[in-house]
Amino acid sequence: MVAFIRKALFHPPGTQFVSTPKEEEEMVRSKGVKKVLSITEVQNIKDEQRDLQIALNEAEGAGTGTPAEEIDKSAIKNEIRRFDRILEEAAPGRVSSARKDSLATREKEMIEQFREGLPTRYEMDHPAKCPGAVRKHQKWSDKNKPLMNEWRNIQRTLRPGEERSIEQLRKDGSRSKYI
């Protein structure tokens, strides 16, 4: 928020701000898959929006000859509208029961796909004792990267605030085969 106000202070009115690549990467949908925001992300966007609204109200209420006169109010309004669009597009909303059923079915299919080749918890916790564990995890991760994004979105839709992690799918494993 402070960085945005700094931009607004030191740029002439009418300047269009381009977000940093990191900000854009967080907001942009990857590969046509609609990103579903987590509850924390939604709350952070709402907080940012509220802070911008407060800054805008303060700037509009200030008199002439004050530093607030130099703030680009239109840029702040554009940023507030951009946050509104993001919340409309990516905030988890109400899901129909038919959609929940299809997502739950897809979740079960994905669990089976994830468990194939997934290193055990023991392998991950003791890579020095388990030769090839790191390479096995990297290979598994590369193979399942697109599914992991889909999994995250399904979890955020079915269980907002209580998403299941892929780590919960790991088997405990046995150390006996490495001794």
Give the domain-ending residue among 64, 90, 116: 90
Give the pLDDT band of residue 69 (cuts 50, 70, 90): low
Examine the domain organization and report whether 63 and 136 are in the same domain.
Answer: no
pLDDT of residue 154 exceeding 60? yes
Q: What is the mean predicted confidence (pLDDT) over 60-88?
A: 79
Residue 165: predicted pLDDT:
84
CA-based R_g, the chain, Å: 23
Tally of CB atoms within 10 A around 107? 17
What angle is formed at CA 34 by the lines to CA 31 and CA 36, rounded to 5 degrees?
Answer: 130
Examine the domain organization and report whether 64 and 7 are in the same domain.
Answer: yes
| 79-94 pLDDT tens trace | 999 999 988 888 777 7
Tally of domains in the chain: 2
Examine the domain organization and report whether 6 and 82 are in the same domain.
Answer: yes
Examine the domain organization and report whether 107 and 141 are in the same domain.
Answer: yes
For the CA atoms of 89, 91, 93, 99, the dihedral, rounded to the nearest 10 degrees, stands at 70
Q: What is the mean predicted confidence (pLDDT) over 152-167?
A: 85
Examine the domain organization and report whether 25 and 80 are in the same domain.
Answer: yes
User: Tokens standing for 3?
Assistant: 């960085």
Q: What is the mean predicted confidence (pLDDT) over 102-116?
A: 90
User: Tokens standing for 41?
Assistant: 């992300």
Residue 172: predicted pLDDT:
81
Examine the domain organization and report whether 74 and 9 are in the same domain.
Answer: yes
Examine the domain organization and report whether 8 and 82 are in the same domain.
Answer: yes
Examine the domain organization and report whether 80 and 101 are in the same domain.
Answer: no
Distance CA(83)–CA(89), nearest Å, equals 10
Whether residue 86 contacts residue 27, with contact meaning beta carbons closer than 8 Å, is answered with: yes
Give the domain-ending residue among 90, 124, 143: 90
Examine the domain organization and report whether 137 and 85 are in the same domain.
Answer: no
Examine the domain organization and report whether 47 and 84 are in the same domain.
Answer: yes
Give the domain-ending residue among 90, 111, 142: 90
Q: Which domain holds residue 10?
A: 2-90
What angle is formed at CA 148 by the lines to CA 147 and CA 154, rounded to 5 degrees?
Answer: 85
Examine the domain organization and report whether 66 and 86 are in the same domain.
Answer: yes
Give the pLDDT band of residue 139 (cuts 50, 70, 90): very high
Q: Which of 161, 179, 147 is nearest to 169 (CA)?
A: 147
Examine the domain organization and report whether 139 and 171 are in the same domain.
Answer: yes
